[in-house]
């Protein structure tokens, strides 16, 4: 039997030392990334962090100043756009307005070597796949935004590219269509197994679709990990607060490794900070456990309710904690409280579960 060619062992995409500047502005620096075959990757970060620039560098639309990009083990760093193997979808659909849906989808097949008949079958197959089997004769202007984006997706996938690049493909759609299309996109990607990179600034979208999330900030990768990892084990305060609210408590590491904050003392398992270190002790509002004062628990302290807002499935509560010398935000599910009222001034027992605590060096920026 023939041995597998090397390309099969190589990652679908391998990026090393990528740097991109616009004049004096460094848009990307020190980017290293491996993408496995069939993976769904999201580039996530605030506006201006370089997500789109990185996607465009991979496509060859905005070549990098420095660094290497390999696809399936082949160096494509200097290869022109037209000779790279990817399909791309933009936020703005970018369909040809004067071509029918079928012709839009068939556009990428002209150099495919398929016969007329082969092209026709492939177009029908793709329209079926994106749920537009009966819309082929229409023009883009006759379709909704969501339908137009499905056409753009079908067009990008038509030549069976090795890589699918999506630049905020759902951002222009209204919330309901966006949620629907998000799920379809993920299902289609899994069915086809096409390696996919999607740029988004929407945390929920990234958490819900990606196999791995690349969190970016100021032109650099802040953390790469599975959605569960970046959410539950953020590597930096920035990542911690990017995925939802986070309480930051000013604290110190004592001689025996416990964490002291104000007059309180807390146990954080397996941390590596030395005695005397200044740290931030962090916990998400949804991870704080509270109850009437009688309820006991580990890592607990007393507080008082400052304010409570009903949020449907929970109450969002601000708690004053004299022991810490600061307030904490918590999400309280009403069943912990029974018939007790969450009125300002009510005393509360607050517990900070060990496995939900995060420690960062104090002074690290958020």
Closest to 89 measured CA to CA, from 160, 154, 180: 154
Options 1, 3, 47, 255; binder of ligand ATP; rule CB under 6 A: 47
Closer to ligand ATP at the Cβ: 25 or 80? Answer: 25
Q: What is the distance in angstroms between the CA of the first residue and the CA of the last residue of the chain?
A: 55
155 binds ligand ATP per the rule CB under 6 A? no
Angstrom distances, CA of residue 30 to CA of 22, 48, 60, 339, 359: 15, 17, 18, 55, 26
To ligand ATP, the closest distance from the beta carbon of 46 in angstroms equals 7
Residues 20-39 that bind ligand ATP (CB under 6 A): 22, 25, 27
49 binds ligand ATP per the rule CB under 6 A? yes
300 Cβ neighbours under 8 A, 6+ residues apart: 349, 350, 351, 352
Closer to ligand ATP at the Cβ: 47 or 270? Answer: 47
Closer to ligand ATP at the Cβ: 200 or 280? Answer: 200
- How far is it, in rounded angstroms, from Cα 295 to Cα 220? 45
53 binds ligand ATP per the rule CB under 6 A? yes
Of 50-58, 274-282, 346-354, 356-364, the window that binds ligand ATP (rule: CB under 6 A) is 50-58
**Using CA atoms in the order 289, 290, 291, 293, what is the torsion angle rounded to 10 degrees?**
120
Closer to ligand ATP at the Cβ: 22 or 96? Answer: 22
To ligand ATP, the closest distance from the beta carbon of 235 in angstroms equals 19
45 binds ligand ATP per the rule CB under 6 A? yes
Closer to ligand ATP at the Cβ: 187 or 204? Answer: 204
- How far is it, in rounded angstroms, from Cα 18 to Cα 241? 26
Instruction: Indicate the SS3 state at residue 300.
Output: strand
52 binds ligand ATP per the rule CB under 6 A? yes
Closer to ligand ATP at the Cβ: 132 or 199? Answer: 199
Closer to ligand ATP at the Cβ: 167 or 320? Answer: 167
Find the helix or strand (DSSP H, E) in which 19 lies: strand 13-22
Block residue for tokens 């988004």: 200
Closer to ligand ATP at the Cβ: 58 or 321? Answer: 58
Options 51, 84, 182, 212; binder of ligand ATP; rule CB under 6 A: 51
Beta partners for residue 19, in sequence order: 66
201 binds ligand ATP per the rule CB under 6 A? yes
Block residue for tokens 């616009």: 22
To ligand ATP, the closest distance from the beta carbon of 45 in angstroms equals 6
Largest CA distance in the chain: 78
- How far is it, in rounded angstroms, from Cα 113 to Cα 316? 60
Of 19-27, 144-152, 225-233, 338-346, the window that binds ligand ATP (rule: CB under 6 A) is 19-27
Is the CB of residue 162 less than 8 Å from the CB of residue 88? no
Closest to 251 measured CA to CA, from 318, 180, 323: 323
Give the binding-site size for ligand ATP (rule: CB under 6 A). 12
Site for ligand ATP, rule CB under 6 A = 22, 25, 27, 45, 47-53, 201
């Amino acid at each position: 039997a023939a041995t597998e060619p090397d390309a099969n062992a190589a990652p679908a995409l391998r990026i090393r030392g990528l740097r991109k500047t616009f004049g004096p502005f460094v848009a990307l620096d020190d980017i290293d990334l491996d993408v496995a075959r069939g993976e769904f990757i999201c580039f996530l970060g605030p506006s201006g962090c370089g997500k789109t620039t990185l996607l465009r560098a991979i496509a060859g639309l905005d070549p990098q100043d420095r660094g290497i990009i390999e696809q399936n083990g082949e160096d494509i760093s200097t290869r022109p756009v037209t000779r790279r193997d990817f399909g791309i979808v933009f936020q703005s659909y970018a369909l040809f307005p004067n071509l029918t849906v079928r012709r839009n989808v068939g556009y990428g097949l002209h150099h495919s070597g398929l016969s007329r008949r082969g092209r026709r079958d492939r177009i029908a197959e793709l329209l079926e796949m994106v749920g537009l089997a009966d819309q082929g004769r229409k023009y883009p202007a006759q379709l909704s935004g969501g339908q137009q984006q499905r056409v753009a997706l079908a067009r990008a996938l038509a030549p069976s590219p090795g890589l699918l690049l999506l630049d905020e493909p759902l951002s222009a759609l209204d919330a309901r269509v966006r949620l629907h299309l998000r799920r379809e996109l993920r299902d289609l990607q899994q069915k086809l197994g096409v390696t996919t990179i999607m740029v988004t600034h929407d945390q929920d979208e990234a958490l819900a679709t990606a196999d791995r999330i690349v969190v970016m900030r100021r032109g650099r990768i802040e953390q790469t990990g599975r959605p569960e990892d970046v959410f539950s084990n953020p590597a930096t305060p920035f990542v911690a607060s990017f995925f939802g609210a986070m309480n930051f408590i000013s604290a110190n590491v004592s001689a025996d490794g416990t964490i002291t904050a104000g007059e309180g003392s807390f146990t954080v398992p397996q941390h590596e900070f030395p005695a005397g270190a200044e740290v931030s002790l962090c916990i998400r509002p949804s991870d704080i456990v509270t109850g009437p004062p009688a309820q006991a628990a580990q890592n607990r302290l007393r507080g008082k309710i400052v304010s409570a807002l009903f949020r449907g499935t929970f109450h969002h509560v601000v708690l004053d904690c004299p022991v810490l010398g600061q307030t904490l935000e918590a999400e309280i599910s009403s069943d912990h409280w029974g018939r007790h009222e969450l009125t300002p001034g009510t005393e509360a027992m607050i517990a900070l579960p060990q496995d939900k605590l995060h420690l960062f060096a104090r002074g690290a920026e958020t």
